[in-house]
Structure 1
Amino acid sequence: MFDWENMRHFLAVARIGTFSGAARSLKVDHATVSRRLSALEDEMKTRLVERLPRSCKLTQAGQRVFELAQEMEENAYAIERFLDVSLSPLSGKVSLSAPPVLVASFLVKHLADFRIAHPGVQLSVSGEPRQISLSRREADIALRLIRPTEATTVVRKLGRMSFDLYASKDYPHLHNPAAWEFIVYDAGFADRPQQAWLMNVARGRPVACEIGDITGHLAAAQAGAGVAGLPCFVADTDPNLRRVAHDGERFARDIWMAVHRDLRRLPQVQTVMNFLLKIITENAAFTTSA
């Protein structure tokens, strides 16, 4: 038999396609991934991965092992979820993945109230822009701005996050739209709906800078670097920012909550889901249409 830890590292390489990416996802170093993969190949006496200069490619045997290993992984997680549901009282840890802007500017403000109301539940919150897998237990619950599509998840729309254009009150071109320069996303986020909206509103006007996350957009706008498309629930409360009128359409993203179907009745998971439902649906900033 093979070591499951070795197989887990192989799965990460197979999914991501690089040793460095697999290492980041597993929170280990590059050498550990390489060592684990080599050990698995030695155990199986089969080459699973072709090491290329900048990536990895599965061999024919590696592709088949990858398919079978994914089924094993799903069954292992299913057993884990079954035991959680069968044995767990209203206590324990619940992991929540959410967009960084929701974590930093909204969720953290409610954590004290949650802790007072539910002292037995430890909430572990991770701010992640990427789509995570609930089937692989990368989180118990996910909040996302794109509707999750995993077949094993139960999804509910909680509200809408409105965006508009903002600039520092000291921005020199604040009242001269023809001279606006825009803060946009870098090439790695070219497919984001916010980017398409921003570029459509800009209509050929200059780009001041490219930044890969919304927190950076906020800081750059506060510093007077240009005009940014920001979530209204964040920017409207900043006394140093001004919402600027423009001819283009406003923009909004739906806020979705997802949970694996096997975990949705787990008491502590239900508690966190009800908490999220309450704080989002009762906040006017997330019920106003764009």
Structure 2
Amino acid sequence: MQDWDDLRFFVALADEGSLSAAARRLKVDHATVARRIAALEARVNARLVDRRPRRYLLTAEGARIADHARRMEAEVFALERGVMPADAAQTVEISVSAPPVIASTLVAPRLATLKTQEPHIRLRLLAETRNASLARREADVALRLSRPGDSTLVIRKAGTMRYRLYATRPYLESHAPEAYGFIAFDEALGDTPQQVWMKEIAGARETVLLTNDLGVQCAAAAAGLGIAVLPDFLGDLHGLCVVGDAADHIDRDAFVTYHADLRNNRAATTVAGFLATCLPRLR
């Protein structure tokens, strides 16, 4: 009866609550989502959503169908994970989600080694700040800076990111401590542990830049704009100076995770193990 693709669009809308959010999740435009929902309503001959100015609310029938559709979606993704190639007999693509700076600075430079050791594995590296859904196969393996709470995931602590205050030597020599300016995340990432820690240190001193990207923070600090909280590997890479003493730092554990359905998939576990070797370990 149903076109599964229409149900997939409906689940996204039910989960996200708005056309724009569902469209971002599905990587389509919002008009496509609206058209698919209308087609599904016509097919089942029922109103599934109440259309509000900024949000779509499920009707009772919509909630019932969404519940069934979510279970169908979970089974489809489980089936896809179950038929993924697992060994060297054929090429297998493994998608990895990782924070952008970690992807570009720690993972990408080591990919040639992985390719030499495992030529049958083709990596799809997604540099993104959001947490990709492993249940919905937005990625097969993920690197995260907070421990996931999903019981369906295999979770492995893979390293620790040590963050310190960094700036250029000329900046520190030309500014008194009370005149330091700080480079910070904007409100989108304002609650990250390193940002909270920096705010406590900065106090009432000036914030000279707000951005949603750690790479931008690093580039601005390297250009002499001010002081940024950076992981050691990034501060060292750009030759920046540590501000403060050795005790002035904050640590964040890094985790490699993948769905439990892939526990026996050699390709996925090999990639997970490779990612763990890319991350810094504190002595």
> TM-score normalised to the size of structure 2?
0.93
Matches of 2:174 and 2:136, distance apart in 1: 47
2:214 aligns with 214
1:23-73 per-residue CA deviation (whole Å, 9 max, x = no partner) reads: 122111121111111111111112222222222222222222222211111
1:15-164 to structure 2, matched below 5 A, reads 15-84=15-84, 89=89, 91-164=91-164
Q: Structure 1 residues 25 and 88 mapped into 2: Cα distance closer, same or farther (>3 Å)?
A: farther
Please list every run of 5 or more consecutive structure 2 residues that lacks an aligned counterpart in the other structure. none
Task: Please say if residues 165 and 229 of structure 1, whose CA atoms lie closer than 8 Å, have aligned partners that are also in contact.
Answer: yes
Please, which of 270, 284, 287 is the counterpart of residue 281 of structure 2? 287
- The CA deviation at 1:162 is 0.7
2:237 aligns with 237
Please list every run of 5 or more consecutive structure 1 residues that lacks an aligned counterpart in the other structure. 281-285
Task: Please say if residues 93 and 122 of structure 2, whose CA atoms lie closer than 8 Å, have aligned partners that are also in contact.
Answer: yes
Out of 59-68 and 140-149, give the one that drifted further.
59-68
- The CA deviation at 1:279 is 3.3
Matches of 1:236 and 1:111, distance apart in 2: 21
Q: Does 1:258 align with 2:257?
A: yes
- The CA deviation at 1:179 is 0.5
1:135-168 per-residue CA deviation (whole Å, 9 max, x = no partner) reads: 1111111110010122210101011011101113
Question: 3-state SS of the aligned residue for 2:70?
Answer: helix
- The CA deviation at 1:174 is 5.3
- The CA deviation at 1:255 is 0.6
Question: 3-state SS of the aligned residue for 2:277?
Answer: helix
Q: Structure 1 residues 172 and 274 mapped into 2: Cα distance closer, same or farther (>3 Å)?
A: closer
Matches of 2:89 and 2:63, distance apart in 1: 40
Matches of 2:189 and 2:276, distance apart in 1: 29
> TM-score normalised to the size of structure 1?
0.91
Question: 3-state SS of the aligned residue for 2:50?
Answer: strand
Matches of 2:256 and 2:172, distance apart in 1: 40
Matches of 2:173 and 2:29, distance apart in 1: 47
Out of 109-118 and 246-255, give the one that drifted further.
246-255
Matches of 2:19 and 2:6, distance apart in 1: 13
Number of matched residues?
283
Matches of 1:25 and 1:80, distance apart in 2: 19
Q: Structure 1 residues 275 and 248 mapped into 2: Cα distance closer, same or farther (>3 Å)?
A: closer
Counterpart residue type for residue 124 of structure 1 = R
Matches of 2:165 and 2:172, distance apart in 1: 15
Task: Please say if residues 85 and 263 of structure 1, whose CA atoms lie closer than 8 Å, have aligned partners that are also in contact.
Answer: no
